Structure 1
């Protein structure tokens, strides 16, 4: 059995296969599992990267039937039933499989405008979070040094593109930084003049939530001073600002710090797997799968999570449940009791924080907002966070940050800044 990816889908599939009477190989491009829902808290100085990224070998300690390999799956040889793996040293290896679970997640999408990435980083991995943390806190420091009022305002302007959960949560936390956590720490820069602009082409924030929750989120963001621009499309991004287009025309907003949270697409592996199997894909290059999450004509290959075009939301719970389901199907086959029921997703709801003591949550037909929604959000994320030590330290940092004003993870080292300026990170194949 080969599992590709150690995100939520791959993690829960591998856990379910622990006692399967078969050899399991887990292939991942990093040595850790990333708890992506809390990544924005790394970018805004609440948590350290170690609290949202637990080593895979530590998670699966004691899994005697598991072999873990570091590398990126670049292609699938369907005829020979093998995956091609590119290791960090550039060498390629072939790993054979009888059953294959592909849970490689999603990559960021700039909708064909890849040049935007240089000026508006996304938030998909630890490198992105540390990059954004450096940019955000560096902007406040540069505003303190700047003597020209116009240039100072550009440093104090933050533009977030995309009003889904990531954009809303980042906007809320930057507002918290400017108006509460960093208040009184700067002598020359008036942080009360900080502008936070949230832009989206949709007609409401959090479009995946029920409309009443979207309205509550918009109201709270406006109360915090966030300038929300809906029905607004970003048409250009450069070092000094963003050009936006509405039904009334175009507008340019000057600001040095831009964050992209607008969209995702399937990774390149999805296209290669589709070509190898003859599977159909949707507009985002996600693979159309059968009701049992297998590729048509290839019952040995499962696609779960963000790579599957299954008309389900791209959230962690879909990947978790899909990974478990695929593993159970494989275990049933091994036991001679094939599972014939199709995959059914149990929707546990959506949650998003806006600021401390304020969140929105849909749980079935129930809507929660404000402090109650925020407490539910804390409890759910703490429950699913991997590792007891991580739970404890995360809870402690939440107490410091939410009950006090601390941001314990504000460090951006010279090494990080030099690396950012001198190097271009390699893109996984």
Structure 2
């Protein structure tokens, strides 16, 4: 903030937090029992641990394992109120937010509404290549992946079967790398013995990245190791390839190459939520909001923009702060600290800028394979995999979630089993007499024999 004069605050100022993700939740938690009144708005009723979302998509975990009701988090906190509602617009001049059920005034506003996947102007691709940002996204991807094996089991045409068993992931960041490894692990380790007519080990998993490397923010050694590990488990990695089209039958690359696939996952880019447009500012690339060094909207020291939506620069280094969970957590805590100090002082005054402490980055490639950069310490293999697991358990919200995730991982690693392989929310597979012997002809006076369909193990 660069104010010439302090701005007075009322007693117990009202703080509205938009979004219950990492930034919003940690901001609100840090304001527990502080001299403020907090109101949290979120369009869902739960906090989602997004780093493990791909494990729901790959049937390793159930949705409840990585989500916790926001009300439960704050049930013993009288100064924090939770509303399940979607903010539709913000009036920063009159300090008011609007939602379907009405509107609400604020003294401080913390916008932590997050981001959505960007298809770079090709929104028609979304129906063919879902992204991975929400539980609904994860369940849809899980449904498509598991259904692909079921339909391939019933398909007699070899070419059609190959398309069903080809999975394309677009984007070589952490989400794409982890998703590619997880799908290949399902095909190779988890389900081969469940099917009778197909060899799931032959399923193709193709990872496409426009850059010349995977995991661009990581050191070169770890980027190369990630590629090597993926290829070792059978993932086909295509670097320096850009997608020009996606349709129901596959992916077309700008090089002209065509990949026939019935299953595509998008992990190639994000943009700020549409709510940012109501702030009345020109948005930066990717729909993000440029903020001051104290994470506030220029000209509005009472409005903070945090998390994926913020285009922020470190107050000490000048570097752009990455859109990662650790950065969002630190942003939320920083904002809460600023608000607490000013609430106690009774005024908005000069602030120290936000400094991000980079503790490193991690990505898991599959069973016993991971890469980790921990404050310059480059770790790979089994040790990195264990470190990845311990750190993710530590940051999970709630003892139940921690316990259930640990149990699921132990089960999966001891027995190569995935415990959440239920296919829900889809019409029954239409079977067109593709399997088994032809039905015997009957005379007009006979009742038709029941058509018998053999299937694999139900999971």
- Tell whether the 8 Å contact from 1:329 to 1:339 is kept in structure 2 after alignment: no
Provide the residue aligned with 1:70 in structure 2. Answer: 84
The residue that corresponds to 2:265 in the other structure is 259
SS at match of 1:407: coil
Of 296, 309, 313 in structure 1, the residue corresponding to residue 311 of structure 2 is 309
Instruction: Answer yes or no: is the 8 Å Cα contact 2:192–2:199 preserved in 1.
Output: no
Instruction: Give the aligned partner of residue 277 of structure 2.
Output: 271
Q: Is the 8 A contact 2:360 2:376 kept in 1?
A: no
Out of 349, 355, 363, which is 2:374 matched to?
Answer: 363
Kindly provide the CA deviation profile for residues 302-356 of structure 1, in whole angstroms up to 9, marking residues without a partner as x.
0111111011111001111001111111111111185722110011110110011
State how far apart, in whole Å, the 2-side matches of 1:176 and 1:228 are: 16
Identify the match of residue 242 of structure 1 among 251, 276, 283: 251
Match of 2:141, SS state, is helix
Deviations 1:230-273 (A, max 9, x none): 1101111111111012xxx3111101011111110000011221
CA contact (8 A) 1:174 1:196 kept: yes
Compare CA radii of gyration and give the structure with the larger one.
2
Of the three residues 153, 158, 174, the one matched with 1:149 is: 158
- Structure 1 equivalent of residue 109 of structure 2: 100
Give the match for residue 89 of structure 1. Answer: none
- Tell me if 1:31 matches 2:40: no
Q: 1:59 aligns with which of 56, 73, 83?
A: 73
Shift of 1:83: 0.4
Superposed CA deviations along residues 205-226 of structure 1, whole A, max 9, x for unmatched, are: 1112111111000000011111
Distance 2:114 2:172 in 1: 21
Superposition TM-score, scaled by structure 1 size: 0.93
Q: Aligned residues, how many?
A: 405
Give the superposition deviation at 1:183. Answer: 2.0
- State the Cα distance separating 1:377 from its structure 2 match: 0.3
1:8-407 equivalence runs, <5 A = 8-86=22-100, 92-245=101-254, 249-273=255-279, 275=280, 279-310=281-312, 311-336=320-345, 340-407=351-418
SS in 1 for 2:193: coil
Query: Per-residue displacement from partner, 1:40-90 (whole Å, max 9, x unpaired)?
Result: 10011111000111001111111110111111111111222110112xxxx
Deviations 1:8-29 (A, max 9, x none): 0000000011122121100001
Deviation at 1:403, TM superposition (A): 2.4
Supply the distance in 2 between the matched residues of 1:281 and 1:309 (Cα, whole angstroms): 9
Q: Which SS does the other structure have where 2:237 is aligned?
A: strand
Deviation track 1:75-109 (CA, whole Å, cap 9, x = no partner) reads 111222110112xxxxx411100011110011111
2: CA distance, partners of 1:137 / 1:297: 50
Q: Distance in 1 between the 2:334 and 2:116 partners? A: 23
Structure 2: unaligned runs, 5 residues or longer: 1-14, 313-319, 429-459
Q: Distance in 1 between matches of 2:399 and 2:292?
A: 37
TM-score (norm 2): 0.87
Residues in 2 aligned to 1:202 and 1:405: alpha-carbon distance in whole angstroms: 33
**SS of residue in 2 equivalent to 1:359:** strand
- What is the distance in 1 between the residues matched to 2:358 and 2:427? 44
Q: CA RMSD for the aligned pairs?
A: 1.2
Which SS does the other structure have where 1:205 is aligned? coil
Q: What stretches of structure 1 move > 6 A for 4+ residues in a row? A: none
Contact 1:82–1:96 under 8 Å retained in 2: yes
- Asked whether the 8 Å contact 2:91–2:278 carries over to 1, the reply is no
Q: More displaced, 329-338 or 166-175?
A: 329-338
Provide structure 1 residue ranges, at least 5 long, that are not aligned to the other structure: 87-91, 420-429
Alpha-carbon offset, residue 169 of structure 1: 0.5
Look up the SS of the partner of 2:124 in the other structure.
Answer: helix
**Conservation of the 8 A alpha-carbon contact between 2:36 and 2:340:** no
The answer as to 2:410 corresponding to 1:408 is no
